[in-house]
């Protein structure tokens, strides 16, 4: 129980248009564990991820980070978010800032560090994602893979308890995916707690300690990474065969 | 490790704070540069004579020669006001006063000294009075007889070569005597004015206003036979006019309420002398280098400047040959000379060939240059005001704070706002005016936010606001109580009551009803006159708007049930509700006459019963009806009162108002209607006055600070600055509404993922806005903002209607003088083009400099 970093209980989300995106999802993430959430489009997996750091307010359910309920309207949402890293599908680098400034921004303005401290940490994390040679470039001049690695560095710099990856490779060209996956795999090996929403079945199998398959807002199947090899439910089988055809 | 790009220009390396200080100083310098068109250059030239005596009196005789008299009997002769020389004096006593007419020049002073000279002679003749008294003033009557008044209240006439004592009826000090033909006037202490109709042989006391009863009337004078003025040493101006054709001037005196001193009766200057140039034009001098001209009989008194270094000089007397040429004299051997009454405007008859373009340009270029500078000044401050207000409004418009959020997450903050912040601010406003009220409000808000940050600094768990956290089970009750308080306010009698929403609406409607607009004609169209009601009683109108807002919130909060979601109402139920309440309200209010309403038990019962039935049906019965029972089930309406965004509503009201009224009308409403410039000027003068008081406690620093304060006061809030202030605000407020929409559009164009990314690293909403969204949005909206700024420059020409002398108005003035319409307007047009084109180029350059790779499609690489 103590090593559960993240606990999601009976999470439910109804969008204001009436769409019932998530219909009661529960799972736990242990410290150092990486969990992959897979599923077809519209299965609610991105919504789950966004509910965890309250970019979307859940309609019902409880989310605990280190045992503390975080989806209470009275909780300090900024404090919580600074402990949860998030990597987006479309990178969302701050295009008016250079690579280095993208990373030091949060350190300076959220953690209150000075220039030297924040740059030290920034260079450290840029080294981890192998982006030291482009620290003075603007995001607009980077390739997709490089952008995503900077985005990963940006969330790493805040020393988060857990990093959420929202389809980190689906906006990338196939030849650029490799470097990003390599980086994420490196983080997994270092023992970073991660929740990854992805379409890359093989990557999920490779990196994740546990895989959650979601369909129509519910967890259809959950287990160690070999459920990809031996799916129990028909839906997962269908999903996997559809992915194979692509 | 840090591969830095080579920079030729190391602007970025300068620390941010220094850059801000740099820009701020440039702005302050521009803001405070005096507008020469409104300022006054000294046109008093110093006359150089090697003498340090104090000069006490001056006259100009009928030859046009000046005579200046001073301490130790010194006499200076200024031939035609140009050749100055010291002449031999028959006395060594201090000479205090002088006068002249067609034949004589006469002077008098301490210890009974009196000297005179005939115009054609060069010899001064001594006719001292024996009794050693101090002669304060001397004058010459219609028979060329010399008349003097003394410090002890004596009057003597030099008749047939000997001094004749006249009964003065008083022992007050007498300060001044003057004659106009056979009529004479004498002024003295304790508000005394004596008059004579017989060349000074007999005198009588004339009525003076009560307000000067304790004052010393230091100088008095006629203008011909139909106007007389007098001044006191305390800075009052007295005026006497001919009351009818048969009476003469000088009998009844009124005190001027000086318009340029905010209708005060005093200028707060120790005045020393007075010279009357025409029925309405008077020149005044005073201690501390004070020289002032009024062209309208003392309504507007315009101070004039002496050359530098004479700020504290005591000016003792002046003499004018005509309305333009004259001298003033003072202590330390100072004599100043002017050719145009001390005014800035050159008066002369230089012949200019206005059909010669060269001479025309030479003649008008100063006007246009001043106009251009005036335009640039209001434009710069209009742009700054508009831009900052625009950003604030745009942020208000895009702010996601809904009522739901206010109540659900920020209930404690909302309570402090409504129960502490607003009531205290209202009390403060009642006590000390709106300015301090707003100040109190902002202070309470910022102090509580800072305090909260201090209290919650180390806590990661939220403990509510300021450490107050209302428990879950009581929150709904508190919200309902809050709602009730918004509806009924604080109904304590005396000065302590604060009206709630219901009372505000009620009293505003009563106020509007009292106009009885359109009551003469029963037609519906006549009732349309009520659209003008807001201007008939603006405070009632604001009360109505605030009342509606409070009532909305109050009802919403009272009806809360803990879920702040939208409501879906089936059309059938809605129709039932509408019918129910129409019936109830009709029953209650048709034929309802406010004036005759009797607050008795049966009326109250009727109200209570009907409202009770209405609420019971609304809350208990109608919601429980099923669709089948209502038989209309295919149509529903969703209402979501909790998703109202208060900040957005306020900003929308603002932009709607300013975008839907013409700028020209806004200019006139703001300047002439609201007199915004005047109010800001008053506030500014008070504020700088307070600063000066604070600065006076600073000891030696005061010498540094107080001139600065004085300078700011003069250049921002000085006379003639009202239209300047009004113009800045009219342009800025209007432009803000347009810039707000432009910036809002740019914010909307930023991908929502940027906000999510900013929030996900833990920045607050405002932090993300400031550090991530706005820097990108502003870059996007530079072109449309540039467009708006160019518009603002061109719109500034409308400031000419409020008498602000900018480029267009200068153009009108030039046309009025020269009639060269084509040239003038062409030159004005070129001047505008230069300003806007420069602005456009700067903005284009800025756009290129700030372009970010990968942000937007901008053409080129």
- Cα nearest neighbour of B775 on chain A: A96
Q: Which residues of B touch A82 (CB under 8 A)?
A: 761-762
Q: What does the pLDDT read at residue B491?
A: 67
A75 to chain B: which residues are within 8 Å by CB? 461-462
Question: H/E/C letters for each residue in B5-38?
Answer: CCCCCCHHHCCHHHHHHHHHHHHHHHHHCCCCCC
Nearest to B209 by CA among B254, B241, B172: B254
**B743 min Cα distance to partner chain A (Å):** 17
Residue A172 near residue A152 (C-beta atoms within 8 A) = no
Q: Do A74 and B464 touch (CB under 8 A)?
A: yes
Cα-trace Rg, chain B: 37
Please report the pLDDT score of residue B462 as a whole number.
53
Does any CB of chain B come closer than 8 Å to the CB of residue A114? no
Query: How buried is residue B523: exposed, middle or buried, by Cβ count under 10 Å (0-12/13-18/19+)?
Result: exposed
> Which residues from chain B sit within 8 angstroms of residue A83, using beta carbons?
762
Are residues B763 and A110, on separate chains, in Cβ contact within 8 Å? Answer: yes
In this complex, do B462 and A75 lie within 8 Å of one another by their Cβ atoms?
yes
Residue A209 pLDDT more than 50? yes
Q: Are the beta carbons of B767 and A109 separated by less than 8 Å? A: yes
- pLDDT value at A68 more than 90: no
- The angle, 0 to 180 degrees and rounded to 10, between the axes of the packed helices B571-589 and B601-616 is 180
Question: Closest to A78 (Cβ–Cβ): which among B764, B852, B853?
Answer: B764
State whether A94 and B772 contact (CB < 8 Å).
yes
Using H for helix, E for strand and C for coil, what is the string for B583-597? HHHHHHHCCCCCCCC
Q: Across the interface, which of B759, B767, B852 has its CB nearest the CB of A138?
A: B852
Mean pLDDT by 10-residue block, N- to C-terminus, for chain B (861 residues)?
Answer: 46 70 75 50 76 86 88 87 85 88 88 87 84 86 88 86 84 88 88 87 87 88 86 88 76 83 81 86 86 82 78 85 85 84 54 78 86 90 92 90 80 84 84 79 87 66 65 83 85 71 85 74 66 84 89 84 68 78 77 61 79 81 64 63 85 92 93 88 84 81 80 78 90 94 92 90 88 90 89 92 89 88 92 90 86 65 44
Strand, coil or helix: A9: strand
Question: Hey, of B761, B849, B850, which one would you mutate to test binding to chain A, going by the most A CBs within 10 A of its CB?
Answer: B761
b/e B476-507 (16+ beta carbons within 10 angstroms → b): eebbbebbebbbbbeeeeeeeebbbbbbbbbe
Q: How far is A227 from chain B (nearest CA, A)?
A: 32
CB contact under 8 A, B761 and A16: no
Please give the helix or strand (H or E) that residue B475 lies within, else none. helix B472-488
pLDDT at B828 (0 to 100): 93
Residue B552 burial by Cβ neighbours in a 10 Å radius (0-12, 13-18, 19+): middle
Among A73, A106, A141, whose Cβ lies nearest the Cβ of B408?
A73
When CB atoms are compared, the residue of A74, A123, A140 closest to B469 is A74
Q: Do A140 and B853 touch (CB under 8 A)?
A: yes
State how far the alpha carbon of B68 is from the alpha carbons of B43, B62, B107, B148, B309, in Å. Answer: 20, 15, 10, 18, 22
pLDDT of residue A104: 93
Which is it for the CA torsion B629, B634, B635, B640, positive or negative? positive
Give the model's pLDDT for residue B40. Answer: 45
Question: At B746, is the secondary structure helix, strand, or coil?
Answer: helix
Other CB atoms within 10 Å distance of the CB of residue B44:
20
- What was the pLDDT predicted at B527? 65
User: Hey, of A57, A70, A73, A111, which one would you mutate to test binding to chain B, going by the most B CBs within 10 A of its CB?
Assistant: A73
Assess whether pLDDT exceeds 90 at residue A123: yes
Kindly report the nearest CA distance between residue B3 and chain A, in angstroms.
7
Q: State how far the Cα of B186 lies from the Cα of B179, in Å rounded to an integer.
A: 9
Closest residue in A to B762 (Cα–Cα): A82
Averaged pLDDT of chain A: 87
The answer to whether the CB atoms of A88 and B462 lie below 8 A apart is no
Contact assessment for residue B727 and residue B796, using Cβ atoms and an 8 Å cutoff: yes
CB contact under 8 A, A96 and B852: yes
ipTM greater than cut 0.85: yes
Report the chain B residue with the minimal C-alpha distance to residue A96: B852
| Residue A57 in contact with partner chain B when CB distance is under 8 A | no
Which of B655, B671, B652 is CA-nearest to residue B730? B671
Query: What's the pTM?
Result: 0.65
Are A126 and A142 contacting, i.e. CB atoms less than 8 angstroms apart? no
pLDDT value for B762: 87
Residues from chain A that touch B773, judged by Cβ atoms under 8 A, are none
Give Cα separations from B487 to A45, B83, B404, B557 (angstroms): 45, 83, 19, 10
- pLDDT of B2: 42
Taking the C-alpha atoms of residue B811 and residue B829, their distance in angstroms, rounded to an integer, is 10
């Amino acid at each position: 129980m103590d090593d559960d970093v993240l606990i999601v209980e009976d999470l439910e989300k109804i969008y204001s248009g009436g769409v019932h995106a998530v219909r009661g999802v529960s799972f736990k993430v242990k410290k150092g564990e990486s969990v992959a959430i897979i599923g077809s489009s519209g299965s609610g997996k991105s919504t789950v991820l966004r509910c965890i750091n309250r970019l979307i307010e859940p309609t019902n359910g409880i989310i605990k980070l280190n045992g503390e309920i975080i989806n209470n309207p009275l909780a300090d949402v900024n404090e919580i978010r600074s402990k949860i890293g998030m990597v987006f599908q479309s990178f969302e680098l701050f295009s008016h800032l250079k690579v280095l400034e993208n990373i030091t921004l949060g350190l300076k303005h959220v953690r209150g560090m000075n220039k030297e401290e924040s740059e030290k940490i920034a260079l450290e994390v840029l080294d981890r994602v192998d982006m030291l040679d482009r620290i003075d470039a603007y995001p607009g001049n980077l390739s997709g893979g490089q952008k995503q690695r900077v985005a990963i560095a940006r969330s790493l710099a805040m020393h988060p308890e857990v990093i959420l990856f929202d389809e980190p490779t689906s906006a990338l060209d196939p030849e650029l995916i490799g470097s990003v996956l390599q980086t994420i795999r490196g983080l997994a090996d270092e023992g970073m707690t991660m929740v990854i929403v992805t379409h890359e079945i093989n990557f999920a199998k490779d990196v994740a300690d546990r895989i959650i398959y979601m369909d129509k807002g519910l967890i259809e199947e959950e287990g160690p990474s070999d459920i990809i090899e031996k799916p129990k439910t028909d839906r997962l089988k269908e999903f996997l065969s559809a992915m194979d055809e692509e | 490790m840090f591969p830095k790009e080579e920079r030729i220009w190391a602007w970025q390396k300068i620390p941010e704070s220094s850059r801000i200080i740099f820009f701020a100083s440039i702005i302050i310098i521009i803001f405070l540069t005096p507008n020469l068109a409104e300022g006054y250059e000294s046109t008093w030239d110093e006359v150089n004579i090697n003498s340090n005596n104090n000069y006490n009196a001056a006259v100009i005789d009928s030859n046009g020669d000046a005579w200046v008299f001073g301490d130790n009997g010194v006499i200076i002769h200024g031939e035609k006001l140009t050749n100055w020389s010291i002449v031999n004096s028959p006395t060594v006593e201090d000479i205090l006063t002088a006068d002249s007419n067609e034949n004589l020049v006469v002077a008098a002073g301490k210890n009974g000294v009196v000297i005179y000279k005939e115009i054609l002679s060069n010899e001064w003749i001594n006719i001292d009075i024996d009794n050693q008294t101090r002669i304060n003033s001397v004058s010459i009557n219609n028979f060329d007889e010399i008349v003097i008044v003394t410090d002890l209240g004596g009057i003597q006439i030099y008749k047939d070569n000997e001094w004749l004592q006249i009964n003065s009826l008083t022992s007050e000090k007498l300060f001044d005597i003057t004659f106009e033909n056979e009529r004479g006037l004498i002024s003295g202490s304790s508000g005394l004015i004596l008059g004579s109709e017989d060349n000074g042989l007999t005198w009588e006391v004339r009525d003076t206003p009560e307000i000067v009863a304790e004052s010393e009337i230091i100088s008095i004078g006629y203008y011909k036979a139909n106007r007389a003025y007098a001044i006191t040493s305390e800075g009052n101006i007295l005026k006497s006019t001919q009351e009818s054709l048969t009476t003469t001037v000088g009998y009844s005196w009124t005190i001027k309420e000086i318009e340029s001193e905010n209708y005060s009766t005093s200028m707060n200057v120790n005045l020393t002398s007075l010279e009357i140039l025409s029925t309405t034009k008077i020149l005044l001098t005073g201690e501390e280098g004070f020289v002032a001209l009024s062209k309208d009989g003392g309504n507007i008194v315009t101070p004039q400047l002496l050359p530098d270094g004479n700020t504290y000089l005591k000016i003792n007397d002046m003499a004018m040959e005509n309305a333009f040429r004259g001298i003033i004299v003072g202590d330390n051997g100072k004599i100043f000379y002017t050719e145009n009454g001390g005014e800035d405007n050159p008066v002369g008859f230089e012949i200019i060939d206005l059909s010669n373009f060269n001479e025309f340009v030479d003649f008008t270029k100063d006007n246009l240059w001043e106009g251009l500078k005036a335009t640039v000044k209001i434009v710069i401050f209009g742009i700054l005001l508009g831009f900052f207000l625009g950003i604030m409004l745009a942020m208000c418009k895009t702010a996601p704070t809904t009522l739901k959020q206010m109540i659900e997450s920020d209930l404690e903050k909302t309570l402090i706002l409504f129960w502490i912040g607003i009531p205290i601010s209202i009390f403060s406003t009642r006590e000390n005016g709106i300015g301090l009220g707003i100040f109190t409000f902002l202070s309470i808000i910022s102090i509580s936010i800072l305090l909260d940050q201090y209290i919650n600094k180390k806590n990661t768990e939220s403990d509510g606001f300021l450490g107050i956290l209302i428990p879950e089970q009581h929150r709904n009750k508190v919200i309902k109580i809050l709602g009730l308080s918004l509806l009924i306010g604080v109904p304590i009698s005396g000065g302590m009551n604060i009206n709630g929403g219901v009372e505000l609406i009620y009293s505003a409607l009563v106020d509007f009803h009292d106009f009885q607009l359109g009551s003469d004609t029963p037609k519906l169209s006549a009732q349309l006159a009520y659209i003008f009601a807001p201007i008939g009683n603006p405070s009632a109108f604001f009360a109505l708007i605030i009342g509606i807002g409070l009532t909305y919130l109050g009802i919403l909060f009272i009806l809360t049930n803990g879920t702040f979601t939208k409501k879906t109402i089936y059309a059938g139920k809605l129709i039932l509700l509408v019918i129910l309440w129409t019936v109830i309200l009709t029953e209650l209010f048709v034929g309802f006459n406010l004036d005759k309403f009797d607050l008795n038990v049966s009326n109250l019962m009727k109200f209570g019963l009907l409202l009770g039935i209405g609420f019971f049906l609304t809350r208990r019965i109608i919601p429980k009806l099923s669709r089948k029972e209502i038989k209309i089930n295919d149509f529903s309406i969703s209402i979501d009162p909790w998703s109202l965004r208060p900040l957005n509503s306020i900003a929308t009201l603002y932009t709607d108002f300013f975008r839907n009224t013409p700028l020209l009308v806004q200019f006139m409403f703001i300047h002439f209607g609201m007199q915004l410039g005047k109010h800001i000027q008053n506030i500014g003068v008070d504020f700088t006055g307070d600063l000066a008081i604070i600065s006076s406690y600073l000891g030696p620093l005061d010498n540094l600070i107080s001139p600065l304060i004085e300078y700011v006061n003069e250049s921002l809030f000085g006379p003639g600055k009202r239209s300047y202030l009004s113009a800045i605000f009219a342009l800025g407020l209007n432009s803000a509404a347009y810039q707000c929409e432009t910036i809002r559009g740019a914010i909307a164009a930023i991908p929502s993922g940027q906000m999510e990314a900013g929030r996900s690293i833990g920045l607050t909403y405002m932090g993300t806005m400031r550090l991530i969204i706005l820097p990108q949005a502003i870059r996007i909206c530079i072109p449309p903002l540039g467009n708006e700024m160019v518009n603002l420059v061109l719109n500034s020409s409308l400031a000419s209607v409020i008498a602000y002398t900018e480029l267009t108005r200068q153009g009108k003035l030039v046309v009025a003088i020269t009639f060269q319409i084509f040239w003038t307007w062409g030159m004005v047009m070129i001047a505008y083009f230069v300003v806007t084109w420069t602005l456009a180029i700067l903005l284009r350059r800025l756009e290129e400099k700030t372009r970010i790779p990968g942000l937007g499609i901008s053409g080129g690489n």
